[in-house]
Structure 1
Amino acid sequence: MKLPKRPKQHISEAASFKLFASKIPESWIIREVTERDYGIDCYLELVNDDNELTGELVLIQLKSRQSIPWAKDNTYTLTGIDISTSNYWYKFAVPVFIFLADLEKEEVFMLSVDYWIKRNFFEFIQQSTFNYKFKKSSIFEGNHGVFAFKFDFYYEYYRQQFENELLFFLTNLLHFQDFQIDHYNRESQLGIQGSDLIYFEAMHRNYKFLCIYLNLDNAIPSIQELKKKSREKFGHTYYYELYEGDLTEWVEEFQKLTLQIIKGLKSFLHGEFSYWKIINPTLYHYVTSISEDEWANG
């Protein structure tokens, strides 16, 4: 009696899905999709350490090999993905990741689509073939794998905000410098007026975000901590939210961070050279032409 046979492709797809599901934290949620022919196999919703649903979604494409034939440099190039699929992934407003399963060794490796496209943009815009290169070090395993994945995820999740904050930083760079100089060593008990306080908070937010995104150390306390310290200092005479002494205390740190952010932005844009040269060459040349010596002197 002849019976239907299950295609090997379906078997490997099911095996890769089970392997992927076994690697993610138990609290995270996999949301399957019914239409898999368009390059998305499932959605992954992240759950925070307090088991709260965050609404942070990742689109997942699963690929598998019975055994991944790593090259001598410990990389593997995934080929055969139609350019229309890459275009589709690139247009999504949420991050898209490819997970590559080694079924024999029961290992899973990850790659952020947007990250790879932006670093290989010249090839991408040719709109012919576009391949994805995995590193053996990008294994998704245990706490280290989860940490690396979350780092890459938030890198893309906050990408649009980064580009907004980048423009804010560049257009205000000279104003930041003037503001910091102007508020250095003023009478410490003078209150910060409304317009200056609003500008300070905007500058503080901008520096804080860029430091986090560019992975830079930032010793400046939060706005809430600065205001709390000010209240404790002035006690019952506390009237303003912040005083000149509060700003003077951190001006030199802001000046140091200005240089670190400039260096960080240069390195970041260099890593995405092909993307910025096509999308915004003016911005790229402006950032790379900023004199670090000038800002090193505060």
Structure 2
Amino acid sequence: MEYPKRHKNHVNESKSWSITSNVLPEEWIIRQLNERDYGIDGYVEIILNNEGLVSGDVCYIQLKSTEKIKWKNGKAKLSNIKKSTVNYWLSLPAPVFIFYIDLDLKELYFCSIEGYIRRNYDKYLNSNDTMGLIFNQLYNLETKIGLINFLYLYSLEKHKEEIDSSLRTLVMHFKTYLEYILYNQGRDQFLIVEEERIFCLIDLYKLLKTLSKHTPIKWGCMDIREMYEDDFKAFGEISELHELFLTKMLVQLQKQLFEILRHYKELFTVVEVDYWRKKDVLLFDRLERIDLDALEKDPYEYLFNLDNSLLY
């Protein structure tokens, strides 16, 4: 007597979802989609707080599986990804991750599609109907470092527009920001800072903090409120800021600025060079022409040279 037989693909699909559920943090919410023909199997609601609050942090996921992932030098390739599917992923309003699952070891590895395409942009453009994805063995979601990398990449993609806009503002007004930082340090420490200069400080502070928080760069500047509290303890004047504490803040912001520029110059002009050359040649060109070694060695001489050039 014959009976229906469950297809192996269906068995592997069930195994993949089971592994995904076991590997992801238990407080995260996994939702499967019924319609999966277009390259999305479901989405994950990421809980980023200790209270378990669902705050709208969502990413799309596509599950791929194999009995045994073949690693070579910490890398594994997943082939035959339709370019049309990649185009669809890139059009979606939330970050997209491919989960590559080792059914034998019950391990889950991930790849951020948007970031992968930016790093391999020419290969993507030159591919015909299909392309491959390279997975990193460090991106194992079951490990602490893997989870940290996943959250970092998620945050990076979620805030990409904000990051790019902030970086354009910083680079296009780089000379003005550098002038402000350098020429507002070391003044008479007992004098009160004018409101206009305080507003400039707050704008610069917010800009650099935005560019720092989505990177591995540690934010090393005192809080604005802390600055005012320290000023009050020293001078006893409410709601006033003195040159002493403006200088202290600007010294910290100067260091932060140099670290930010070094990080984004490496990212935009080396790691994602093909993408930014084509997508934003002006931003790419400005970043590439910033000489960070000369800037850090003598920022005043560097600013002088900017004043005497047509670079900015």
TM-score by length of 2: 0.89
User: Using the alignment, how far apart are the partners of 2:121 and 2:293 within structure 1?
Assistant: 31
1:52 alignment partner in structure 2: 53
2:18 alignment partner in structure 1: 18
2:99 alignment partner in structure 1: 99
Letter in structure 2 aligned against 1:160: E
Larger displacement relative to structure 2 (174-183 or 33-42)? 174-183
Runs of at least 5 residues in structure 2 that lack an aligned partner in the other structure:
300-312
What do residues 114-167 of structure 1 show as CA deviations (whole Å, max 9, x unaligned)?
Answer: 111000001112351221011222211143332221122112122111101101
Identity of aligned residues (%): 27
2:32 alignment partner in structure 1: 32
Preserved CA contact (<8 Å) 1:66 1:102: yes
Letter in structure 2 aligned against 1:194: E
1:74–1:294 Cα change, 3 Å: closer
What do residues 88-115 of structure 1 show as CA deviations (whole Å, max 9, x unaligned)?
Answer: 1111221100011111111111111111
Tell me, yes or no, if structure 1 residue 246 matches structure 2 residue 245: yes
User: Using the alignment, how far apart are the partners of 1:115 and 1:218 within structure 2?
Assistant: 23
User: Using the alignment, how far apart are the partners of 1:37 and 1:50 within structure 2?
Assistant: 36
Deviation of 1:255 after TM superposition, in Å, equals 2.6
What do residues 256-293 of structure 1 show as CA deviations (whole Å, max 9, x unaligned)?
Answer: 33332222222111100111111112221221111224
TM-score by length of 1: 0.92
Within-5 A mapping of 1:1-298: 1-47=1-47, 48-70=49-71, 72-128=72-128, 129-235=130-236, 237-240=237-240, 242-269=241-268, 270-296=270-296, 297-298=298-299
RMSD of aligned Cα (Å): 1.8
1:74–1:145 Cα change, 3 Å: closer
Larger displacement relative to structure 2 (184-193 or 221-230)? 184-193
2:304 alignment partner in structure 1: none
Preserved CA contact (<8 Å) 1:101 1:108: yes
Aligned partner of residue 137 in structure 1, secondary structure: coil
1:21–1:248 Cα change, 3 Å: same
Runs of at least 5 residues in structure 1 that lack an aligned partner in the other structure:
none
User: Using the alignment, how far apart are the partners of 1:181 and 1:144 within structure 2?
Assistant: 38
Preserved CA contact (<8 Å) 1:23 1:142: no
Preserved CA contact (<8 Å) 2:138 2:145: no
